[in-house]
Amino acid sequence: MHFESEPGLEEFRQEVRDFVRDNLPEDMKARQVYSGSMFSNHDDDQAWSKIVEPKGWGTYTWPVELGGCGWSAMKQFAFEDELYKAYAPPLSFNTLHMIGPVLYKFGSPELQERFLPMIRKNEIRWCQGFSEPGSGSDLASLRTRADLVDGKYVVNGQKIWTSGAYDANWCFCLVKTDTTCKPQKGMSFLLIDMTSPGITVRTIPQINNEKHLCEVFFDNVEVPVANLIGEAGLGWTYAKKLLEGERTTSSYIFWNKREMRRVIALANAEALNGNPVAKDPAFRMKLARIQAELTALEWSVLRVLANETFPQGTPAAASVLKVRGSDLQQWVTEAQVDLIGDKALRSYPIDSLGSDAGTLWPEHVVNRTNMSMIARAATIYGGSKQVQRNILAATAFGL
């Protein structure tokens, strides 16, 4: 199949390139270029959303009747690919792909009216309250409770590895509302105001000096019943629908392609025995292997989007892409660190501006060590490689 065959797709790519070239602020781009983090600056995310909003691109994955673009999967792929190439801040994943679709599919009319307009404008910062100590990949074993008391839910428990909770406005949270039935049947899906009394957030220091991951403690936190998504006890169903939003994004295909281009830039800029490293046969072999895996991953993503490989909703698709995509995150960042040699010992603050960092080292060197360190977790977060292989064994092979 020829994946660029959709009429007008190349013209659309050029439209996106032109728009980003003319509208992406240089300081915003510099923060993306020099970042040593997998996570974008929240202020930049919101500012960029306001820039693209007049084009109607802010909620491009949503249905047209809800303010979306009605694009095909291939057009969405092309759009995201061009944004990453240009170092534009990614449009908020938590809102666009996760809580937004859950709200417009399962939320009450009141919740939709309250939240969807603000989500379209990226005016709310959301965090995802799923993982708990001892309940990461096995969400069915979570222990955070929400007891119905005097017409309100009272939430007690702890979440961990909660990305961005330190400055989130709201949390979409899985809680246990019934302990008398099977674990999956007793879960509910709540929207919790992060300014509520009884919530404590603690950042978790990371190996790359970032503090994006958090612990969240709930101590008798009162949540209105109106903040329940859908029906009580169906939280597991809604969570599975939400995680379908990660079906192809778990591959990090656009990020991997961009960082591979950085590997090539490093190989041409760094010298070995007086010649560019790119000319070294051993390195060229390593580069070829990584590029072959990356090309295979991209074609796999495109086949999934075209529904050629897996039926819609098959968990095996996401697992295949997650396993190989997370491997590639590590391979490309390790290659970057290997190429810059002793320059890798010099690191920079996560939020260092390009103008500051560029005076010390070339742009392709800055924060490569930090990025490599955080990529070590890629095969763990979002479902570890071992869990993904178990899912594959069960869903693809019936084992």
**Domain identity same for 75 and 171:** no
**Domain identity same for 251 and 361:** yes
pLDDT, one tens digit for every residue, the chain (399 residues): 555 567 888 999 999 999 999 999 999 998 888 777 777 777 888 889 889 988 989 889 888 998 888 898 889 999 999 999 999 988 877 787 889 999 999 999 999 999 999 988 888 999 999 999 987 667 778 899 999 999 999 999 999 999 999 999 999 999 999 988 887 788 999 999 999 999 999 999 888 777 889 999 999 999 999 999 999 999 988 988 777 666 678 889 999 999 999 999 889 988 877 888 889 999 999 999 999 999 999 999 988 887 755 555 566 788 889 999 999 999 999 999 998 887 777 655 544 444 454 455 666 677 888 888 888 888 888 788 888 888 888 877 888
**Domain identity same for 79 and 50:** yes
The number of distinct structural domains making up the chain is 3
The predicted structure's pLDDT at residue 67: 86
Cα radius of gyration rounded to whole Å, the chain: 22
68, 91, 114: which is the final residue of a domain? 91
**Domain identity same for 160 and 225:** yes
Are 127 and 83 spatial neighbours (Cβ–Cβ below 8 Å)? no
CATH number of the domain at 323, please.
1.20.140.10
**Domain identity same for 274 and 155:** no
Burial class (CB in 10 A: 0-12, 13-18, 19+), 80: buried
**Domain identity same for 363 and 283:** yes
196, 227, 242: which is the final residue of a domain? 242
Tell me the whole-structure pTM to 2 decimals. Answer: 0.87
**Domain identity same for 286 and 218:** no
Are 263 and 339 spatial neighbours (Cβ–Cβ below 8 Å)? yes
91, 107, 139: which is the final residue of a domain? 91
CA distance 58 to 67: 9
Are 129 and 229 spatial neighbours (Cβ–Cβ below 8 Å)? no
Task: Find where tokens 């995150």 sit.
Answer: 329
**Domain identity same for 237 and 255:** no
Q: Which domain holds residue 293?
A: 247-395
**Domain identity same for 224 and 167:** yes
The predicted structure's pLDDT at residue 346: 64
**Domain identity same for 221 and 270:** no
